[in-house]
Chain A
C-alpha cells in the first residue's frame, strides 16, 4: 500500500511536532504556513513547559496531580481522558525536547532546572531562559528541516489556507490554499488534513498574539461545517505591557521567579515606587490568596488586577490602568539568567530597566481555550486509545485539529506552561491515528478540487472588484477589536454582550462593502487581510453568543450577576447554613452548566448553540475555592457530602 500524504496547516509547535512524527513514520507531508514556520506564534511563549519531574515526584507529585491541577484550574470544563493522557506523556515530551537540543536551564549538577507556575504548588515547569516557546519551536523546526532535506516534507510558506475540500460523503480530501506572493490558487489533495493554525486573538484588535493569529483558518473550517466548542472561554493574561500596536506579554515566569504584584495603598501615589515603604504597599494577591500568592490561576489574577484598578481605584497611574510587577528585590544575575529575554523586551519597548524599576503591567487577551471540536477514544485506563483515528478528529472525517485551535485540554481556564505541552502532545499523539484513519486521497476528485478553486477565485475577484471609496478594512478591524474587548474579556454582562453582538453584525455588513486600497495581483497584503477580517466575524459572533447564553461564572468566563460570593456570616451556625446553600447552588449549577458549548455555523450566518456533556468520570467536579471568603467552611461541607456519596472510589486515582 502506498504511504498516505498529509496536509498540515500551520507550523507552530503543534503542526511541527505532527509533521516530524508523520515524516518519521514514512508519511509525506505538505506543510502550509502564513509565514516561514520558524516565525510562528509559538516563538512568543516565554515561561516554560509543565511536567512531573524527578524532584517534584519525590515531594509527592505525580501525573495524576498534574492532571488534577489542570482540570481544577480549568474549572472542570475539559473532557478528562485527553487531559490525563497529556499529563502522562508530559515527562516523556520534555525528555524528547531535551534530546532535540533545547537549551533548558540547568541546575549546578547539570539536570534540568524547574520553576513554579500558577495553579500548582510544585515546581513543574522546565524552561529555557524566558524564551522557552522559541527554543522548543526551533528544535522542532530543525527536525522538520532535516526531513525537508530528506524530501519527506514539502513546505509551502507564505501560503494561506482557504477551505477544506470535502467529497460527496462529507470526508475531507484536501484543501485549497493561496500563495500570498503570486496570489495563485492551488488545490492540495491529501489523505488527511490537520489544522494547527493557532488562536484567534486578532479579533480583539490588540492582544498578546502575533499578527498572524487571525483565526481565519479555523473560521474557514467552521464555516465549512466543523463544530466549534467553548468559544466564550478566552484567556486574558494577567500581565502584559501596553503598546500602540500590541500588548506585549510579560510572562508568568516573572512571578514564578519571585516577582510580586502590588499597588500603592494611596491611590496614584506620586512617589517613585522604590521610595514607597513596604507598609504603604498593597500586595493584594499575597494578602488575598495566602496559599498561592502571586501564582493564583490566571483568570483569578486577571480579575484581581482588573478589580484593584477599576473598583478600588488603586491603579498606579491616573489616566492609565496598571499595577506594579516588581522584580527589583531579586539579584540582577539571577534575573539575567532566568528571565533575560523578557526583561530585554520590556527594556527595549518601554525604555525602563525592570531590574531597577518595577514594571507597569495590565491584563491582555492571550489565549483561546475554545476551538474546533475534536473527538477522542477513551482507553480502558481512562486515558486515550493510541492509534485511534478518532483522536483529534473533527466532526468532518479526515479533518483533524491540534494545538491552540482545538478546544480539548484547557477547559474554562488554561494553566501557565500547559499550552506548549498541549501543542506538542496533540501533534505527536495524533500522528498514528491520522495514518490509521487516512482515506484514499483526493486525487481522483479533480472535479471537486476544480470547483473549490473556482469558488475561491471568484470570492477573491469579487473582493478585488468592489467599488472604491467605501469604508476601510483596517478601521473596521479596529472597531471590531474595541467592541470585543469591551464586551467579552474580563467582565461580561448580558446587556453589553447582546449589544456587542448587534454591533459585530453591523460591522460585518460594513465589511461586505469595504473597499480595498490595493487591487493588484502580486503580494497583495490588503486583500489577504480583508479576507481574514471577514472570517473574524463568525468567530466573534460565536464568542459573544456563547458568553451571552452561559449564565454562570466558570474560569475565564465571569459574569458578576451570576457570581457565587463567599460566606458573609460570622456566626459558625449561620456560616454552616450558608455553606450548605452554597454547595446546593454549586451542585445545581454544575448540573446545568458543566457542559461544552457547541457552535455550528448556521445557514443565516448566525451560530447555532447546543451543549454537550463533559466526561468527568475520573475526577468529580468540586468547587474552585481559591481565596473565597469562608472557603474552608464550604470545603468542609463539600467533603462531607462527597464522603456520603462516595461508594465507588475515584477511578484509577494514582495516589
Chain B
C-alpha cells in the first residue's frame, strides 16, 4: 500500500544554505510602454533558499507592492520553460545579460550580497518593463535562410548519412535558443526602434521595420545558423544564397571580432568559430564571384 503525502506537495522543502540573508532587495528598471520614460522601482521580499530570478519575479507579481508599501502593477517579463531551453527570459541581471531562470539568487548574492538589479535588454525596443521586442532576431534567421530546403514533407527515405564527428560539430550550433544574449553583448549590434506613424497600417509598419532590420547587422546567432546549414549535406545546396546574405549589407563584415558573443552565450555555442568560418567562406565567395562575373 502506498499512502498519500500530507503536505500537499510531492516535494518537500529544499536543503538550507549555510548563512541565509533575511531579505532580497530588488531594483527593476521599469517602463510602462514604448516611448515612455523608464524609472526605477524597488521591491523587498523575504529570502528563501534555492530561488532563481523567476521565482523572485513571481513573488513580486503576487506581492504587487513596492518596497515602501505602495500598490504597483506587477513587473512584466517573458518566461516559459524555466529550464533554459525556450530562450524567453533574457534580461540584464546585475548588469550582465543572462537568462532569469538559470540565475540563482544565491549565486547572484556572491556578486552583490542582498541585492539584485534587473533591467530590460538594451538592444531591442522595450515593450513593457522587462519585455522586449525580439522580432529582429527571427528576421535575421529569414535573411540567412536558416533551413534545409526540402522538396516536400512526403516520404523519401532517410536523410543523408552523417558521421558522428559531423553531428558533434553541428549539434552545438543547433542548440541556439534565440535568447538574444549574443546580440545584446555585441558592440556592432545596435538598437533599432521605430514607432508606428499616424495612419500607417500594421502591414506597412511591419514592412518598414523589416527594411530597417535588413540594412543592419544580422547578429552572431544568424551567422552561426548560416554556417550550420551550409555544413549540412542538403542545406549546403543553398549555400550560395546564404553567402549572399552573409556578404551583403549588415553581413559578416560588420563583426568587429570583440568576441563578447561567445562569452555571454548561455548554451556555450562556439559562435566565434562559426564567425571565423563564415569569414573564410566569405573571402572564398568573393573571389569566386569576382571570377564568375
Contact = CB atoms under 8 A, between A and B. Distances in A.
Interface string B150-176: 101101111101111011101100110
B88 A517 contact: no
B10 A522 contact: no
A101 B73 CA distance: 44
A321 B6 CA distance: 12
Interface string B6-21: 1011111111000000
Contacts of B50: 243-244
Interface stretch (A305-313, A390-398, A630-638): A305-313
Q: What size tier do the contact residues of chain A reach?
A: 35 or more
Interface in B164-197: 164, 166-168, 170-171, 174-175, 177-178
B141 interface: yes
Contact of B86 (A39, A310, A362): A39
A96 B87 CA distance: 26
B147 A103 contact: no
A106 B87 contact: no
B148 A560 contact: no
A243 B105 CA distance: 13
Nearest to A560: B1
B274 interface: no
A298 to B, nearest CB: 15
A20 interface: yes
A43 interface: yes
Contacts of B177: 43, 134
What secondary structure prevails in chain B residues at the interface with A? loop
Given A493-B4, A517-B64, A523 B128 contact: yes
Contacts of A142: 141, 146-148
A474 B3 contact: no
A486 B9 CA distance: 6
Interface residues of B, number: 82
Contacts of A146: 145, 147, 149
A341 B172 CA distance: 10
A569 interface: no
Given A39-B80, A111-B161, A142-B146, A491 B4 contact: yes
Interface stretch (B111-119, B229-237, B243-251, B283-291): B229-237
A306 to B, nearest CB: 6
Contacts of B78: 35
B131 A134 contact: no
A109 to B, nearest CB: 8
B10 A38 contact: no
B153 A242 contact: no
Nearest to A242: B11
Nearest to B48: A244
Contact of B10 (A303, A349, A363): A363
B79 to A, nearest CB: 6
Looking at B138, B148, B153, the one whose CB has the most chain A CB atoms below 10 A away is: B153
A550 B52 CA distance: 40
Nearest to B155: A92
Contacts of B145: 146
Contacts of A311: 1-3
A523 B155 contact: no
Interface string A146-166: 101100000000000000000
A95 B157 contact: yes
Interface stretch (A245-253, A259-267, A399-407, A584-592): A245-253
Looking at B10, B128, B157, B158, the one whose CB has the most chain A CB atoms below 10 A away is: B10
B278 to A, nearest CB: 18
Contact of A99 (B10, B32, B150): B150
Interface string B81-117: 1111111100000000000011010000000000000
Interface string A519-560: 010110110000000000000000000000000000000101
B167 A104 contact: yes
Nearest to B16: A319
Interface string A444-479: 000000000000000000000000100010110000
15 contacts: A94-B158, A95-B157, A99-B159, A129-B171, A135-B174, A145-B141, A146-B147, A212-B80, A244-B48, A306-B2, A310-B4, A348-B84, A362-B10, A468-B71, A520-B32
List 10 A-B pairs, minimum CB-CB distance, nearest first.
A517-B64, A98-B159, A142-B147, A518-B73, A474-B62, A110-B161, A242-B11, A482-B8, A523-B128, A39-B86
